[in-house]
């Protein structure tokens, strides 16, 4: 068996399967969580009919989406039109392979982990552009144009914030970044970057730009339903639409996982709850902490979405160019100076 | 420069205020009604289609077949049919047809009725597959309600004999009219779901 199938290939196959299953399960759970949180914020129970408290709603919705026909509108570019949904959900899933879920549970600890994620996250905007362009629909095109302008603008502060941490750690490797944040200061405050002034500012800006990159409200201009019906995925039905949704939720979990890894100490528990062993149980414990932080951030993202109204387009770009970019640049400069002082680690 | 940061912090602060508000609502109990399973009490002022008032004395209608409602109806959607049984002086209602597809819910029939034999029903969930399902036979509906609610006639103790019958008549009408609203309010709650029984047929 091992002769015919090298363990490395087996490992890759298993990890790809696990990552894909994680992405699908995550989307199924998040859709429900989103609708539930949204409902309760609006003081209604959300989905309630299918299963106890509507727990099976997403399963039924998924079945419905799969049962629907995928229509290609007249005059659309058929090949690109079919390619776009795939393009939107494959990169975020692929990016999950460098995310350290626990000290051992990581498919590949690439030297350039952060860069790898940034590269794949940037492909998202390409998928949106392709979808909007190939749909032969004015709303789709508007949506994708907005998406491009927004993503190009917001990728700059996003990059600068990540570079701040990379500068601090001196490595693009996700594992190194997490290792650096182990331990605690005076046994109380964990050594997470979010608890340093520069790290906090970087985290805040990263989280804002992350929301903009995933096209979540209040930055959901590419799919603003009151203006553009559904923006770039107006023409998609059935599983094409489903894949865009899957891509969006995987992107969200990726943004939150990166935030957890870079700013919130990854799988590290707070000092007084830390375990030092390295067995399977310890890994499960770390995984628990990682998922807790990630899903905490995701709930905050949903909470924000259902609280704030959508920004206007000029507000969106002004906010980025006039506030986020200068502050993140200043933050980077301060961090660089700090690292040169003798106090820095 | 100071203003720049002031604006940022003021903006951030208002965002946090908003988040606090939605968080408070998120944990507050929901205020919706799970409609098909729960229903809200409808206001007594609700104007559904008209229905005949049940007379608790006879467990039947109060209609005296005076044709006032039929004559006053601007949409001409009421048809009252009565007959005089052998040996009786008064007409008895045999059918009260309401074509609800034409009714404009003006309420003239309810107001004009000398015996307050008509009331608004609480039916707000009418649905049907054809318009013929909204040609109601109100007498049949009344009998159905009497049966469903198990109302039995409770005749009043007979008035003292001897008085001239002609004199008793108008007096008999008045107290009933005052009684009517109180009696009609009671059964309204149970009436609403009964309407669904109809569309199925």
Residue A42 and residue A306 in contact, taking contact as beta carbons nearer than 8 Å = yes
**Quick check: A180 pLDDT over 60?**
yes
Whether A43 contacts chain B with CB within 8 A: yes
Instruction: State pTM to two decimals.
Output: 0.74
The pLDDT of residue A345: 58
pLDDT per position as a tens digit, A116-128: 888 888 888 888 8
Whether A308 contacts chain B with CB within 8 A: yes
Q: Inspect the interface and report whether the beta carbons of A308 and B21 lie closer than 8 Å.
A: no
**Quick check: A204 pLDDT over 70?**
yes
The pLDDT of residue B187: 46
In terms of Cβ atoms closer than 10 Å to its own Cβ (0-12, 13-18, 19+), residue A255 is buried
Q: What CA–CA distance (Å, rounded) separates A18 from A11?
A: 10
Residue A84 and residue A130 in contact, taking contact as beta carbons nearer than 8 Å = yes
Please state the ipTM of this predicted complex.
Answer: 0.73
Q: Inspect the interface and report whether the beta carbons of A43 and B32 lie closer than 8 Å.
A: yes
pLDDT per position as a tens digit, A39-62: 888 888 888 888 788 888 888 888
Strand, coil or helix: B40: coil
**Quick check: A203 pLDDT over 60?**
yes
Which residues in chain B touch residue A42, judged by CB atoms under 8 angstroms apart? 25
| pLDDT-wise least confident of A83-97, A318-332, B146-160 | B146-160
As given in the structure block, the two tokens for residue A65 are 């989406």
Size of interface A-B (CB pairs under 8 A): 36
Interacting residues of A134 by C-beta distance below 8 A, sequence separation 6+: A76, A77, A78, A79, A80, A81, A84
Pick from B52, B45, B50: nearest CA to B103: B50
- Phi-psi map region of B160: left, alpha, beta (phi>0 left; psi -120 to 50 alpha): beta
**Quick check: A210 pLDDT over 70?**
yes
The pLDDT of residue B172: 46
Tell me the nearest-neighbour CA distance from A53 into chain B, angstroms: 12
Split at pLDDT 50, 70, 90, the class of A80 is confident
Phi and psi at residue A230, in whole multiples of 5°? -135, 15
B15, B29, B32: residue with CB nearest A308: B15
Which residues 309-338 of A have a C-beta within 8 angstroms of B? 323
Minimum Cα–Cα distance from B25: chain A residue: A41
Split at pLDDT 50, 70, 90, the class of A330 is very high
Q: Inspect the interface and report whether the beta carbons of A303 and B32 lie closer than 8 Å.
A: no
Split at pLDDT 50, 70, 90, the class of A234 is confident
Average pLDDT for chain A? 83
Q: Inspect the interface and report whether the beta carbons of B32 and A44 lie closer than 8 Å.
A: yes
CA A174-A175-A176 angle, to 5 degrees, is 90
- DSSP letter for each residue of A273-293: G-----SHHHHHHHHHHHHHH
Strand, coil or helix: A198: helix
Whether A39 contacts chain B with CB within 8 A: yes
The residue among A33, A39, A42 with the most chain B CBs within 10 A of its CB, best to mutate, is A42
Minimum Cα–Cα distance from A204: chain B residue: B12
Low-confidence ranges of chain B (pLDDT < 50): 164, 166-201
The pLDDT of residue B17: 92
Q: Inspect the interface and report whether the beta carbons of B18 and A44 lie closer than 8 Å.
A: no
The chain B residues in contact with chain A (CB within 8 A) are: 8, 15, 18-19, 21-23, 25-32, 34
B8, B15, B30: residue with CB nearest A44: B30
pLDDT per position as a tens digit, B109-163: 989 989 888 888 888 888 889 988 888 888 888 888 888 888 787 777 766 665 5
């Amino acid at each position: 068996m091992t002769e015919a199938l090298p363990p490395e290939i087996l490992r890759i196959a298993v990890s790809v399967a696990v990552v894909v299953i994680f992405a699908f399960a995550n989307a199924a759970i998040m859709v429900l969580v989103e609708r539930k949180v949204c409902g309760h914020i609006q003081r209604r129970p959300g989905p309630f009919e299918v299963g106890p408290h509507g727990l099976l709603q997403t399963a039924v919705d998924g079945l419905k989406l799969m049962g629907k026909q995928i229509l290609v509108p007249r005059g659309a570019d058929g090949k690109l039109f079919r390619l776009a949904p795939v393009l939107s959900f494959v990169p975020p899933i692929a990016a999950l392979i460098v995310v350290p879920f626990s000290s051992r549970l990581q498919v590949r600890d690439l030297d350039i982990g952060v860069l790898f994620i940034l590269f794949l996250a940037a492909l998202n905007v390409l998928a949106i552009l392709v979808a909007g362009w190939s749909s032969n629909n004015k709303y789709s095109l508007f949506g994708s144009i907005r998406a491009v302008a927004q993503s190009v603008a917001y990728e700059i502060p996003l990059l600068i914030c990540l570079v701040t941490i990379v500068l601090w750690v001196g490595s693009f490797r996700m594992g190194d970044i997490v290792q650096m944040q182990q331990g605690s200061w005076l046994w109380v405050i964990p050594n997470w970057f979010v608890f340093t002034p520069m790290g906090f500012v970087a985290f805040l800006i990263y989280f804002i730009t992350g929301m903009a990159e995933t096209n979540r409200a209040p930055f959901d201009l590419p799919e603003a339903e009151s203006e553009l019906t559904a923006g770039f995925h107006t023409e998609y039905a059935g599983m094409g639409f489903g894949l865009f949704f899957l891509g969006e939720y995987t992107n969200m979990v990726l943004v939150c996982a990166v935030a957890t890894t870079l700013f919130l100490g990854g799988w590290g528990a707070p000092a007084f709850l830390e375990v030092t062993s390295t067995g399977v149980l310890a890994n499960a414990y770390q995984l628990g902490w990682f998922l807790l932080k990630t899903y905490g951030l995701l709930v905050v993202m949903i909470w924000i979405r259902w609280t704030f109204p959508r920004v206007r387009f000029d507000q969106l770009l002004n906010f980025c160019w006039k506030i986020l970019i200068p502050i993140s640049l200043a933050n980077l400069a301060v961090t660089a100076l700090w690292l040169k002082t003798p106090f820095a680690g | 420069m100071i203003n720049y940061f002031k604006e940022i912090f003021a903006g951030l602060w208002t965002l946090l205020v908003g988040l606090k508000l939605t968080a408070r609502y998120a944990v507050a109990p929901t205020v919706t009604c799970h409609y098909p399973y729960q229903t809200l009490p409808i206001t007594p002022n609700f104007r559904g289609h008209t229905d005949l008032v049940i007379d608790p004395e006879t467990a039947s209608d109060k209609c005296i077949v005076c044709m006032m409602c039929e004559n006053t109806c601007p949409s001409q959607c009421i048809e009252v049919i009565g007959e005089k049984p052998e040996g009786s002086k008064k007409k008895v209602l045999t059918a009260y047809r309401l074509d609800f597809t034409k009714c404009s819910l003006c309420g003239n029939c309810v107001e004009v009725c000398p015996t307050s034999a008509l009331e608004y029903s609480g039916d707000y969930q009418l649905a049907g597959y054809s318009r013929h399902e909204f040609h109601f036979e109100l007498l049949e509906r009344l009998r159905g309600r009497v049966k469903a609610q198990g109302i039995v006639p409770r005749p009043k103790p007979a008035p003292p004999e001897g008085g001239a019958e002609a004199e008793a008549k108008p007096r008999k009408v008045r107290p009933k009219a005052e009684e009517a609203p109180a009696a009609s309010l009671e059964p309204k709650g149970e009436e609403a779901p009964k309407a669904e029984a109809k569309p199925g047929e």
